[in-house]
Copies of this chain bind each other. A is one copy, B any other.
Amino acid sequence: MNTLEAISQRHSYRGRYKDIPVSREDLKTIMQAGLDAPSGCNKQTTSLIAVDDMDLLKKIYNVIDPPVAESAPAAIFVLSEKIIAYRDRCFNIQDYSAAIENMLLAITELGYQSCWYEGHITDDDRINDRIAEILNVPDEYEVVCFLPIGIAEEEVKITQKKDFEKRAWFNSFKAEE
């Protein structure tokens, strides 16, 4: 699969996962893809914890309410540090988003499915803080996202998007007619 194929074949998967483990080698490859992403002023504000211990994963899934992706045999938790790039500018959201996109593409390339769960754990009920506690994450890091990883058991649904012409133009903004 080349990059363009992986990009067009990446979809958010919210179905059940097969009961087949994800190898450590694949998890490392996916995490390395995340770490290879650029970061503002190379501050490398993103860190990662992969969880493949089933008891630990069950403990984490227990605090995710409403439950999502509970059948995934592995997950990567994305940690972010608010490190200033220069003056008052901090690009940690950009940094972790680029890292997540790289990981989603690596996951696609390796034949797995995933979904970017962010708002689900970073809302007012602060599920992410409970996850951070379980994973021994220090206070200076925020758990901002989790990516379940596994082989899809159900059909992968494709999200419909606007046509190219409504979001991309040449040499000038073009109002919709």
Contact = CB atoms under 8 A, between A and B. Distances in A.
Interface in A91-115: 91, 93-95, 97-98, 100-102, 104-106, 108-109
A83 interface: no
Given A97-B94, A138-B173, A2 B4 contact: no
A118 to B, nearest CB: 7
A129 interface: no
Interface stretch (A6-14, A63-71, A148-156): A6-14
Q: How large is the interface on A (under 10, 10 to 19, 20 to 34, 35 or more residues)?
A: 35 or more
A93 B101 contact: no
Nearest to A170: B50
Interface of A is mostly: mixed
A168 B35 contact: yes
A2 B109 contact: yes
Contacts of A20: none
Contact of A31 (B28, B31, B89, B168): B168
Interface of A: 1-4, 6-8, 10, 12, 24, 27-29, 31-38, 40-42, 44, 46-53, 56, 79, 85-86, 89, 91, 93-95, 97-98, 100-102, 104-106, 108-109, 116, 118-119, 123, 135-138, 141, 159, 161-162, 164, 167-173, 175
